[in-house]
Amino acid sequence: MDEKNMKDHIKIIGIAYMIYSGLGLAIVAFMGLFASGLSLFSGDMGVILPITALSNIVVVILLIVSLPGILGGYYLMKGKNWARILVIVLSLFNLANFPLGTILGAYSIYILLIRREWRFYFK
């Protein structure tokens, strides 16, 4: 694998991580709106407040989990070595997210860790 092919693989990984994490953010937004809207139909404040608070907590947690993927993917394409390490760590966690996370994680680990040509890209 030469330098140009490695740049293409790294660009694919960066874009894939931004899309994968962006889908996570879209799901977070939909889930937050759905849970809050659903609780409003009951009209009971005893139901509205706990469900809204719980959905907000879940939204914040999922937001914290999704943002590193977007930042890692973006800065990986910019050639930052710290982003390579971040994407490797995220890839290890994504291996458990079957099937898309497993594919993305395995591909990222293979390109960014096992193949040695990444040194051409991260100087």
Euclidean distance between CA atoms 87 and 73, whole angstroms: 7
Contacts of 50 (CB under 8 A, 6+ apart): none
Indicate whether this model's pTM tops 0.85. Answer: no
Where do the domains of the chain lie? 3-116
Encoding tokens for residue 110? 């293979």
Give pLDDT, residue 102. Answer: 93
Encoding tokens for residue 106? 């395995």
**Tens digit of each residue's pLDDT (9 = 90 or more) over 71-85:** 999 999 998 989 999
Give pLDDT, residue 24. Answer: 86
**Tens digit of each residue's pLDDT (9 = 90 or more) over 25-74:** 888 888 878 877 777 777 777 777 887 888 888 888 888 888 999 999 99
CB 94 within 8 A of CB 101: yes
Question: Does position 108 have pLDDT exceeding 90, yes or no?
Answer: yes
Euclidean distance between CA atoms 47 and 40, whole angstroms: 8
* Mean per-residue pLDDT of the chain: 85
